[in-house]
Amino acid sequence: MTSNSFAYNEHSGGGEATELGQEATSTISPSGAFGLFSSDLKKNEDLKQMLESNKDSAKLDAMKRIVGMIAKGKNASELFPAVVKNVASKNIEIKKLVYVYLVRYAEEQQDLALLSISTFQRALKDPNQLIRASALRVLSSIRVPIIVPIMMLAIKEASADLSPYVRKNAAHAIQKLYSLDPEQKEMLIEVIEKLLKDKSTLVAGSVVMAFEEVCPDRIDLIHKNYRKLCNLLVDVEEWGQVVIIHMLTRYARTQFVSPWKEDDGLEDHEKNFYESDEEKTDRKKRTYAMDPDHRLLIRNTKPLLQSRNAAVVMAVAQLYWHIAPKSEAGIISKSLVRLLRSNREVQYIVLQNIATMSIQRKGMFEPYLKSFYVRSTDPTMIKTLKLEILTNLANEANISTLLREFQTYVKSQDKQFAAATIQTIGRCATNILEVTDTCLNGLVCLLSNKDEIVVAESVVVIKKLLQMQPAQHGEIIKHMAKLLDSITVPVARASILWLIGENCERVPKIAPDVLRKMAKSFTTEDDLVKLQILNLGAKLYLTNSKQTKLLTQYILNLGKYDQNYDIRDRTRFIRQLIVPNEKSGALSKYAKKIFLAQKPAPVLESPFKDRDHFQLGTLSHILNTKANGYLELSDWPEVAPDPSVRNVEVIELAKERTPSGKAKKENPPKKFYSESEEEEDSSDSSSDSESESGSESGEQDEEGDSSGDSSEDSSSGSGSGSGSESAVNKRTAKRSSKTKEKGDSDDEEKENEKSETSESSSAESSSIEDSSSESESGSESESKSRKVTKEKEKNTKQDRNPVTKGVSLLDLDDFNPVPTPVVRPTTALSPSLIADLEGLNLSTSSSVISVSTPVFVPGKTHMLLHRMSGKGLAAHYLFSRQPCIFGSKMVSVQITLNNTTDRKIENIHIGEKKLPIGMEMHVFNPIESLEPEGSITVSVGIDFCDSTQTASFQLCTKDDCFSVNIQPPVGELLLPVTMSEKDFKKEQGMLTGMNETSAIIIVAPQNFTSSVILQKVVNVANVGVVPSGQDNIHRFAAKTVHSGSLMLVTVELKEGSTAQLIINTERTVIGSVLLRELKPVLSQG
């Protein structure tokens, strides 16, 4: 419940920001177009100044206004540089709003967002669960393939977070990462499998959505979690319920036998009054017993029919339709009819589904017939669907009532609806033979209607009805022939001509006269009418040649030269078929049989008849075509698969669901020493025992977070109380977690089922326990761990590895220690451990690692300004790989200027600089003049901020300015350092997890020597060579120029011309780029 409230608090915060933003922007009332644009510019400048202010109140007010602008749909992208500067703000409220902004614009401003990626990584360990979740959302919103490894590791760590809200966002990030890089599918499936075991209702819907997106075919992942999902369904948030219900519908169709077998058997039984022995035997065989799990799903979804969310009701309705016995499916009709009181969009979807259902099972909706009567306020699309449903529900008992209703609809001002009603009357006449004559007479009366559209539609429907009883309605045909003079709608005219042609022998006096009139207007008729005139002429030529021979030949001559090729082709075909000549073939003998053959009466069917093969409630069903991503429902299996796959071991459930009391006293030490923290669903418990470092529970009250925040607080560096190295924090964390595992609390974890076993009594127990008691508990737990089953030990060992590895994934040193009583656990440290920690601190001193001279300086120059573009002034630049004299954080760049003209070039200098945020540039002194054919070399210093972004500036002379760019290769952003192999390994051990990037490459045979590898690597990157005691391992070290972060490169040669390239650095983006540049160099010859 606590986590749910946090989620709503975040949304409510956004709502508050929206209101403030509206107030701020609504005060501007410019008087004209120019005033509007100028006020917007002034407003944005004002916001930029507020964001650069030193006062948190001004920044917070600015962020609220900006988020308000976003909420109203206004573009705030130009404020991105000013906003992103505040991403590391200490104020929690500002940081929340900054992350809300970044989630919206990170994908559009990828380069600037990448500059702050290290801040996002640190935020993943923030004590506040909303900050951790927001950081993950921003990280997954940066759609750059280069940070895929970082996103992958962040998702893995977030999936084990103690906060359900963070785990929920991890599930959302899975879908984003999969769409960015589908090759990560297997690793993402592992995370999904882990999250599916989560018992939090906040996580369930999101992880099932990720499952449906990434691996919907992996039904085996659902087996063990099926009953849990069914039981959690009622408590999951509404949109999560929709996703879970649709997934469980597909699951049920693959795991259970059809519940309709019993119904089918009853229908077969009703066919014959007396059963044969074979029929009795067959019916006994078909006796159906529903699987308990099948019944569980149907029973647990039934209460959701009362949901306020229309999508949930629709999801339950489709579940009952597709997997419930037919005798039980009727309960959904009342809930669906209730939804017809909603807005028109909901009505449209619901009516589409009811239209499909009503074709197969009319009895479900017959009691609610009046609910489908058309209202005058209904839009046309709703009226048409209601007509469709009324037609499907029509029978002998209610047809008289419906026909009276239809008479009213025909008089509607909505002509499209009136035409649809006439079609409906025709279908009723076709389906119910008792009212065929009544409907036909009513339609004939409509032929005298003033509205031409009504008359035309009536003609078309009458034509279809007359095909069913052609011999009985000669008078109607005569009446319709008279309408040809007044009706202008092409379809209606064509229908009348077709009817006269088919019945030309029954109206021998009228048909030739109609042909005469049509011959006069042939050239002005619609193409559809022309075709029917040709057909009428051919039929009359065969039956009444004496009167119509010349008329038909005249019409054929007109058709021969018609503009439409179809009419010309039809004319040639008919002429050869009916007019005998020397070249006439055998077909001409059968012309009368061909033209005057008895045509089958058309079948008037519902357009929803063939939609039942699509799952109800899906986009494919609405469109009546398979949409992208649609997952088809499988047929029921003949034999049910083994139901035991859904069984869950009772022992595991008991351990997970009794985190307090007697079980709790035994479990924590056994979990810690037997490596069984992560059993089935308790991934959060392992994160708790690994990441807690003796922190207190007071921080959770201050931040308003759940118990998960206390643990995250300790892991962010507050446990040591002295701001020491992260490695120190890791070891103290392990020490203090042992003491905390012994604590006994009876009041905690009443709301959560997670095994967070070390929260409430941590401060008390940490000062009581000493190292001897820890060793005793360790021996006890070792003896207990032998009793654990082999299967369980195997699972927990696999689960533990990423957790212990994840402790060092992120650098958390930027956070100051929280002033809370966290010093207590240090009293339990033994003297030897304190000495070890002090030694660890000394190992990071600067005396061990020092900057060295470059191993190699490439002489390759890059074009800065071409002589043609520079009007005779040419410029080239190269990276000298020397320490910059203008600043320790700058890269030294040598620029060579050449005068290729025959005159002096005066006052050469750097003009306007267009540098990205944070980048700085030290320019050279202006050059008074450069003689013809002269050359000069100058130096500039550029602080690239450890990024490969382009430095843009203008190179100017006395008369002109030229825009030029310098883009550094990633290898030139480094300074070589020297260190021993031992120090290299120690630093490498501290830069694992998210800070490590590796790849397997195939090395060209000529590159498989130490000297060539050395030359290839130092040519690409300015790194120093580290001595190595192994011939097949080559180590290189450097540090970034701006931040001084270590960059460790390892090339390990393996068998079969392969090598593993490993890069360890805190600057993960630079590491990934360097790996990408080194791979082709080592692979090529």
- The first and second tokens of residue 6, run together, are 């946090």
Spatial separation of the C-alpha atoms in residues 611 and 601, rounded to whole Å: 24
pLDDT of residue 272: 54
Q: Is 1059 left (phi over 0), alpha (psi -120 to 50) or beta?
A: beta
pLDDT of residue 487: 83
pLDDT of residue 663: 41
pLDDT of residue 473: 67
Q: Which has more confidence, 699 or 78?
A: 78
Q: 42 φ, ψ to 5°?
A: -65, -40
Q: Region 317-331: what's the mean pLDDT?
A: 92
pLDDT of residue 117: 82
Q: 165 φ, ψ to 5°?
A: -65, -40
Q: Is the dihedral of CA 216, 218, 221, 227 positive or negative?
A: positive
What length does the chain have?
Answer: 1085
Q: Which residues pair with 906 in a beta bridge?
A: 929
- The answer to whether 723 and 823 are in contact (CB under 8 A) is no
pLDDT of residue 470: 61
SS3 annotation, 759-796? CCCHHHHHHHCCHHHHHHHHHHHHHHHCCCCHHHHHHH
Spatial separation of the C-alpha atoms in residues 430 and 467, rounded to whole Å: 11
How sure is the predictor about 1064, in pLDDT bands with cuts at 50, 70 and 90? very high
Which of 944, 846, 955 has its CA nearest to residue 887? Answer: 944
Residue 206, pLDDT above cutoff 90: yes
Which of 318, 176, 173 has its CA nearest to residue 253? Answer: 318
Spatial separation of the C-alpha atoms in residues 559 and 488, rounded to whole Å: 21
- The first and second tokens of residue 336, run together, are 């669906």
Helical segments of 197-324, H only: 201-214, 226-232, 238-255, 261-271, 277-285, 292-301, 310-323
In angstroms, how far is the first alpha carbon of the chain from the final one?
Answer: 62
- Kindly report, residue by residue over 1008-1030, the tens digit of the pLDDT: 788 888 888 999 999 999 988 88
**Mean pLDDT value across the chain:** 77
Residue 811, pLDDT above cutoff 50: no
Looking at residue 757, its amino acid is T
pLDDT of residue 263: 54
- Kindly report, residue by residue over 209-231, the tens digit of the pLDDT: 999 999 999 999 999 999 999 99
Q: Region 959-985: what's the mean pLDDT?
A: 91
CB atoms closer than 10 angstroms to residue 425: 28
- Kindly report, residue by residue over 562-581, the tens digit of the pLDDT: 999 999 999 998 888 888 77
Q: 1039 φ, ψ to 5°?
A: -135, 150
Burial class (CB in 10 A: 0-12, 13-18, 19+), 629: exposed
pLDDT of residue 685: 39
Long-range contact pairs involving 667-672 (C-beta distance under 8 Å, separation at least 24): 667/755, 667/757, 668/741, 668/742, 668/757, 668/758, 669/741, 669/742, 669/777, 669/778, 669/780, 669/781, 669/784, 670/781, 670/784, 670/785, 670/788, 671/741, 671/757, 672/737, 672/738, 672/741, 672/781
Residue with tokens 């990024």: 947
- Kindly report, residue by residue over 928-957, the tens digit of the pLDDT: 888 888 899 999 999 988 888 889 999 999
Q: Region 1050-1068: what's the mean pLDDT?
A: 87
Spatial separation of the C-alpha atoms in residues 969 and 980, rounded to whole Å: 27
DSSP string, 304-351: GGG-S-HHHHHHHHHHHHHHS-TTTGGGHHHHHHHGGGS-HHHHHHHH
pLDDT of residue 432: 85
- The first and second tokens of residue 693, run together, are 């470092």
Q: Is 1021 left (phi over 0), alpha (psi -120 to 50) or beta?
A: beta
- The answer to whether 303 and 320 are in contact (CB under 8 A) is no
Residue 796, pLDDT above cutoff 70: no
- Kindly report, residue by residue over 840-892, the tens digit of the pLDDT: 343 344 446 888 888 888 888 899 999 888 888 999 999 988 888 888 889 99
Q: Which residues pair with 963 in a beta bridge?
A: 954
- Kindly report, residue by residue over 267-323, the tens digit of the pLDDT: 444 445 555 666 555 555 556 688 899 999 999 999 999 999 999 999 999 999 999
pLDDT of residue 472: 62
Residue 354, pLDDT above cutoff 90: yes
- Kindly report, residue by residue over 766-775, the tens digit of the pLDDT: 333 333 333 3
- Kindly report, residue by residue over 398-414, the tens digit of the pLDDT: 888 999 999 899 888 88
DSSP string, 489-540: -HHHHHHHHHHHHHTTTTSTTHHHHHHHHHHHTGGGS-HHHHHHHHHHHHHH
- Kindly report, residue by residue over 840-852, the tens digit of the pLDDT: 343 344 446 888 8
How sure is the predictor about 43, in pLDDT bands with cuts at 50, 70 and 90? low
Which of 736, 752, 761, 733 has its CA nearest to residue 665? Answer: 761
